[in-house]
Structure 1
Amino acid sequence: MTTPVIAFIGAGNMATSIIGGLVAAGHPAQQIRAADPFAESLQRLSEVAPVVTCNNNIEAVTGADVVILAVKPQVMAAVCADIRTGLADTSTLVISIAAGITIDSMQSWIGEDTPIVRCMPNTPALLGCGASGLYANSNVTAQQRDWAAQILSAVGIIDWVPAEHDLDAVTALSGSGPAYFFLLMEAMVDAAVSQGLSLETATRLTLQTGMGAARMGLEKDLDLAELRRRVTSPGGTTEAAVKEFEASGLRKLVSDAMQAAADRADAMAKEMG
């Protein structure tokens, strides 16, 4: 596979994590560029990998095979207008990791024929444990899909979705999902403390339990319901807790919360488009 020249617009935490993953996977650092208006961000990035850095977006994208837009949604329109003149032609692949910015909007800012991949990563990508949903428009070639997959796989797993609106569900699931687990773990720690455990012990046991459960889900060839059943002995402590969760409407609560997140993602797209 051809090794692409990749330009990052924005050198924040997510861009730095992806770049670190790419270099660790063998992508030559000299074929990665990054532009950011803040010297501190570029300095932190340089400590991760010796990539080419600058504070000029057009300089970064000129001659690049792939441009990754790692900027806040609020400045996406201005950034796209800035780089449009620097793109060699409309065959340059553009990957956006900004929430709520549709491909239609980006095409209106960059060009209708531009190959664009939208990606919804999540914060565990900072540790190489990310989960990203990707969608490509019809201008993206097979090689460009491979490039996008290679880039995002450097920080975790990826899944392509068949329709752009599916990214709203991805946002509600894996994009926002880490916060749901943190909230549940907060509640577990609080409950354990109220039952007499120290905060330190409750926190350590909760975090290890969460990690262990996730690893079992990933490594055991069983669905989640079966894994739950295997922990839930009839008449035991786990069954008592699970019955309380079910009686209190946990499933509906989760469903309603994720629908609210998906609805907000859709609303953001309309607000920022």
Structure 2
Amino acid sequence: KGKGKGKCKAVAGATWPKQEDSGDGGVKKAKSWEGYEDWDESSGAVKRKASSNSVAGEEKKKKKKKAAEWEEEEEEENEMEKKCKGCTDLEGRRFNFKHIVVNFANVGATYGKKVLGKTGDSRLFDWEGVRRCVRFLKCNKKLKVIGVINENYRAPDNASRGQVNMPGDIEKMCETIEETPRIIGTNHGSADDEMTIKCAYRRNCPFLDNDNYRDWKQQLRDTKVRDWLNKVQELLHWHYYFDKGLGSFDMLEGNVPEHLLAQGKKMDKRDLWTASRTG
């Protein structure tokens, strides 16, 4: 050990810095440590600094871990897609089970009526019902939500007295919010229903609404959309309920596997006892 360097440990392959004459009779310290460039003495002892190779190795491990998380998430998102693998609609398009279109007006009004006990045709809607629905679809079902609601819609939030626009937390949980234009006239009285159907058709994905859409199956003017609805409604038209006692949201998923619905097979109840649930 060098004099005055009691805290420093000798390192193989390294030498103490050379001292040079300062020109005035004194001794000038060297500007660098020969052989100690990769060592850190900030803690009072000479320690090796993290090398570029070790840093790169750590970054590589982090990327692998992130990729594994993404892969796991992707598998969860594709669970329903695997059940209907290769299934297509009348136009040959594969069904999209990563997204779901939700009629917010229907969900919010159902919550107000079933959970909050509201009555009458107006003032049923509450944003809390939409919040619970979207959170369930996003977190439990790993779905990307497209919400449909009348533009500039205002309503109570969690039984509040005043009316507010869509809360920011709901909007953040959704991939997009599709606002239905406010159109005057009885001919467009259910424009949000029509928009829900058409948004689902464009994406070829499920749509959530407890209305049966019986009239739309006959009266939709767009032939392609009408044919699509008649063919895939049993597979893609999803339903839900709110538990009145708990206020919780859940899906009504039926008792026929999705891959059999996609193939258009009719099944007897006895056949369901032995039907494969995985496809």
Structure-2-length-normalised TM-score:
0.32
State which structure, 1 or 2, has the greater radius of gyration over its C-alpha atoms: 2
TM-score (norm 1): 0.32
